[in-house]
């Protein structure tokens, strides 16, 4: 029985993997949050990994506060880059497979066509820079690793864009939402299923992969979909990014091409509205309980 260690176990993707785990009882799942595995303590990483002795590590842990990363640069780099290098070194030395999650923010946003895994990177904020450095360290220290870039992740767990918008549309009569940043959202449950499909696939095929839900939308269009599915009575106005300045710049276009992950592993790529409706139904149920 293969032992799988999931880092960042209380995050959105880690939480969704925990939901899926009982369906894959042929695997021995270990879920580690920061209290078990603190990725900012490099000496402790090796000690904990030797104790657990995983055969696969799924690294869902990351520093994801995009705007705060502009001032907490060192911490973002420790978690998104340096810790990844330590994990990659350990997995290489101990014959362990590594699957690491990255982000669409490694791109500069200047494309106008869906981004393949071979597209040129050029992050425009600190978060993206630290995640790109993590990718590079991962592949340098463990060329047999799998990296999955994803985008706009949301779920019924924790704090995220969908839950925030649901709350705001019930509290406010009018919202302004950026309409000139294009990409596709990712339901963390779909990403978790993609990850499990990969780790249970007969052949481990190392390299870079992209995953998000199908569809090409702006944040504004995403909010309109949330509004429609939720039946919220709130006026939504699309505005340019220039009218909503943030500490960290965002890529204007970061739509990911998912064809490689689909053809290599047979991963399903659900349409974004279908997944959004599933997630919002869960959020409604959870809010009643």
Task: Indicate which residues carry an active-site annotation.
Answer: 127
DSSP-assigned states of every residue in 26-74: TEEEEEE-TTT--TT-HHHHHHHHHHH--SEEEE------TTGGGT-HH
Instruction: Confirm if 177 and 243 have CB atoms less than 8 A apart.
Output: no
CA distance linking residue 96 with residue 83, whole number of Å: 16
Instruction: Round the CA-based radius of gyration of the chain to a whole number and report it.
Output: 19
Which residue in 270, 265, 181, 263 sits closest to 223, CA to CA? 181
Cα three-residue angle 81-53-45, rounded to 5 degrees = 35
Which residue in 100, 80, 78 sits closest to 91, CA to CA? 100
Give SS3 for 219.
helix
In this structure, the number of other CB atoms found within 10 A of the CB of residue 104 comes to: 25
Alpha-carbon distances of 83 from 59, 76, 273, rounded to whole Å: 10, 10, 35
């Amino acid at each position: 029985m293969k032992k799988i260690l999931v880092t960042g176990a209380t995050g959105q993707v880690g939480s969704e993997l925990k939901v899926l785990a009982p369906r894959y009882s042929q695997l021995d799942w270990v879920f580690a949050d920061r209290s078990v595995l603190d990725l900012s303590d490099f000496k402790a990483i090796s000690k904990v990994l030797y104790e657990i002795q995983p055969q696969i590590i799924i690294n869902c842990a990351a520093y994801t506060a995009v705007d705060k990363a502009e001032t907490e640069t060192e911490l973002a780099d420790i978690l998104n880059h340096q810790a990844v290098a330590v994990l990659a070194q350990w997995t290489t030395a101990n014959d362990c497979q590594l699957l690491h999650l990255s982000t669409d923010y490694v791109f500069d946003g200047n494309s106008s066509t869906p981004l393949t895994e071979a597209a040129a990177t050029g992050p425009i904020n600190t978060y993206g820079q630290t995640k790109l450095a993590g990718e590079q360290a991962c592949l340098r220290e463990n060329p047999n690793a799998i990296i999955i870039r994803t985008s706009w992740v949301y779920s019924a767990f924790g704090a995220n864009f969908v839950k925030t918008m649901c709350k705001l549309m019930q509290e406010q009569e009018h919202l302004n939402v950026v309409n000139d940043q294009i990409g596709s959202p990712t339901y963390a449950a779909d990403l978790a299923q993609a990850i499990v499909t990969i780790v249970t696939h007969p052949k481990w095929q190392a390299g870079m992969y992209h995953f998000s839900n199908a569809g090409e939308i702006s944040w504004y269009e995403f909010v309109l979909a949330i509004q429609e599915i939720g039946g919220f009575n709130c006026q939504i106005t699309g505005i340019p990014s220039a009218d909503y300045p943030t500490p960290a710049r965002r890529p204007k276009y970061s739509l990911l091409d998912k064809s490689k992950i689909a053809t290599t592993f047979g991963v399903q790529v659900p349409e974004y509205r279908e997944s959004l409706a599933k997630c919002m139904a869960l959020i409604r149920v959870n809010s009643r309980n």
